[in-house]
Chain A
Amino acid sequence: MAIAEAKADHSEGMSYLESVPRRLVTLYLPLVIFLVILLFPFYWMALTAIKPNEQLLDMETVSPFWTWDPTLQHIKKLLFDSNYPKWLWNTMYVAAGATALSIVASVLAAYAIVRLRFKGAQTVGGLIFLAYLVPPSILFIPLATVVFQYGLFDSPLALILVYPTILIPFSTWLLMGYFKTIPFELEECALIDGASRWQILTRIVLPLSVPGLISAFIFCFTLCWNEFIYALTFLQSVTNKTVPVAIVNEFVDGDIYRWGSLMAGALVGSLPLVVLYAFFVEHYVSAMTGAVKE
């Protein structure tokens, strides 16, 4: 009750001290400018994707900011006359595989660090955090030789094994935060009742940290979908590529009307993430802020 009141207080805040015209200039105007700048590229992307070809380059006869005859020709061309469905499938396959692998490894690692408190748990936790700070840009060259040595070059399996290096540090820290909030007494009770550590993990800790698992899952999935440099370096044949790499490399031909299909490709490639995001906004935000706060 008190918290709710405090919250209501906070949202109202001291805004009654400001007059309406003042709020208009100091709050709404800058906010609208921010929103327009932040969202315009997507509007432009979506608009280009459904504009007919003749309107794409002709900016004089019709206003370029709107179209009255939307067409699906670019999206149709993309889905039926190109390898796009295959690329989409590759991206999803790699993202799902790497995410699953990372979540399993992170759950075990986070549980061990937070609750098993084995010798050196603190050090290992610190090392995993440091791993988060090693960027792919300095690893891709040596990794390319490693991947080649293991015979994984040009195989999606290489990405499934390499992406977890980006995902595990992040999701381990996120899950450590969630596991810490689960009362230790629950586990003690289970231990006394004769549960093994594995049973405690699967029957008590995991069900209680479902929000954390969802956050970790979406964030990992988004990062995989977004990853570019490893996919660009490790994959060579056209049919093995992921969407971001394929868009950059395969769509850029001399065709002056390429913008329509290029934007359609970018739009279709972003939609799955935007839909996922729309369903889990709160989890997403808590994942982002949770990892930073830790």
Chain B
Amino acid sequence: MVDVTDKTMARRAPRKIEVSAWSQLKSNRTWLGYWFMLPALAILALFLAYPLGLGVWLSFTDTKIGRGGGWIGLENYEWLQGDSTFWLSVLNTLLYTIVASVIKFAAGLYLALLLDKHIPFKALVRAAVLIPFIVPTVLSAIAFWWIYDSQFSILSWSLKKMGLITANIDFLGDPWNARWSTIFANIWRGVPFVAITLLAGLQTVSPSLYEAATLDGATPWQRFRHITYPLLTPIIAVVMTFSVLFTFTDFQLIWAMTRGGPVNATHLMATLSYQRGIIAGQLGEGAAIATAMIPFLLGAIMISWFGLQRRKWQQGSDND
């Protein structure tokens, strides 16, 4: 169809029929647009939008694996409200997200500033920094599991040789040790992403700004505070939203290392939801835990939204 219209338009002198051909093309374009969108939208509707709704609905039912459930209203949520394990998992998730995100941001920004300087083998160093992000999370989590082994941990061995401790540290066996150990593994995995994306932002900052500031007698801290930081704010907003989002919904790191143990001390909402929903078969209850994560995610998205808005009014234009 379009082919034909386009050809006729090309062959004839277009002056006279411009209006009608243009409007035809426009109407065709809309239809064509819908056709082009079809594969992507079909997949997203079937496997993303529909399950999202279904998940919320499941959380109001008592569905179990292999047995359809009936509507039970808020019962799942009422039951969770009195469940100390659930509240422990909420607190763990908040601790995990806040501590890991703050440190990831600080360390990532510091690493980005270091990488932005003039160093030998710059490309190689940058490539090496990103490796933790490339290797599948579960596989590096397994490496951490071995590093954190209760008897043969290389960390305990080194600290013992240095004379700092006398007995092996039980990294994953003690509740607080396990929490800090998993948080560290998460930071380790997240820092490269933050550092490399912030580095890309740093490289767009014009060096002449720093030179001018230095000539005016600005200290390194003042240069960072009044040039780097304000210019980097928009990209920081986006990077940190993603970082918070993925840390909050983390599953694989915990599952590979502790499976929520010891005594539920490292259960995040996602792992608890898997434990209750899939392993114990209580689909409805698992879905309720997953649905309880949505308000937090909306909060993170709002932050991202306002971060992006701010970029627009800062630049004083509506371009993207």
Contact = CB atoms under 8 A, between A and B. Distances in A.
Interface in B266-290: 269-270, 273-274, 277-278, 283, 286-287, 290
- In this complex, the member of B117, B132, B245, B277 whose beta carbon has the largest number of chain A beta carbons within 10 angstroms is B117
A87 to B, nearest CB: 12
A144 B131 contact: no
B77 interface: no
Contact of A38 (B132, B197, B200): B132
Given A105-B39, A105-B43, A161-B47, A228 B255 contact: yes
7 contacts: A12-B118, A42-B143, A109-B39, A133-B301, A135-B245, A161-B47, A277-B134
Nearest to A269: B139
B47 A247 contact: no
Nearest to A273: B134
A12 B273 CA distance: 52
B2 A165 contact: no
A2 interface: no
A121 to B, nearest CB: 7
A238 interface: no
Contact of B283 (A124, A145, A232, A293): A145
A141 B139 contact: no
Contacts of B207: 6, 9-10, 13
B55 A244 contact: no
Contacts of A139: 48, 51-52, 55, 290
Contact of B30 (A9, A118, A138): A118
Contacts, number: 311
A155 interface: no
Contacts of A17: 214
Given A10-B207, A168-B44, A289-B200, A111 B297 contact: no
A112 B157 contact: no
Given A165-B47, A248-B255, A266-B140, 4 more contacts: A34-B111, A39-B128, A134-B48, A138-B290
A117 B191 CA distance: 38
A14 B211 contact: yes
B125 A35 contact: yes
A285 interface: yes
A41 B33 CA distance: 48
Given A138-B293, A141-B58, A59 B157 contact: yes
A48 B129 contact: no
Interface stretch (B3-11, B82-90, B170-178): B3-11
Interface residues of A, number: 105
Interface in A107-148: 108-109, 111-113, 116-119, 121, 124, 128, 130-131, 133-146
Contacts of A57: 151-152
A144 B7 CA distance: 50
Nearest to A143: B51
B: interface residue count bin = 35 or more
A266 to B, nearest CB: 4
Interface of B: 2-3, 6-7, 9-11, 29-34, 36-41, 43-44, 46-52, 54-55, 58, 63, 107, 110-111, 114-115, 117-119, 122-123, 125-132, 134-140, 142-144, 146-147, 149, 151-152, 154, 157, 188, 191-193, 196-197, 200, 203, 207, 210-211, 214, 235, 238-239, 242, 245-246, 249-252, 255-256, 269-270, 273-274, 277-278, 283, 286-287, 290-291, 293-294, 297, 300-301, 304, 320
A196 B139 contact: no
- In this complex, the member of A15, A137, A294 whose beta carbon has the largest number of chain B beta carbons within 10 angstroms is A137
B50 A146 contact: yes
B294 A244 contact: no
B270 A137 contact: yes
Contact of A274 (B111, B135, B256, B270): B135
A56 B149 CA distance: 12
B5 to A, nearest CB: 10
B306 to A, nearest CB: 15
A233 interface: yes
B238 to A, nearest CB: 5
Contact of A162 (B47, B135, B200): B47
A99 interface: no
A144 B278 contact: yes
Given A44-B154, A288-B197, A142 B130 contact: no
B245 to A, nearest CB: 6
Contacts of B49: 131
A262 B157 CA distance: 21
B114 A168 contact: no
B7 A222 contact: no
A86 to B, nearest CB: 17
Contact of B29 (A118, A124, A130, A136): A118
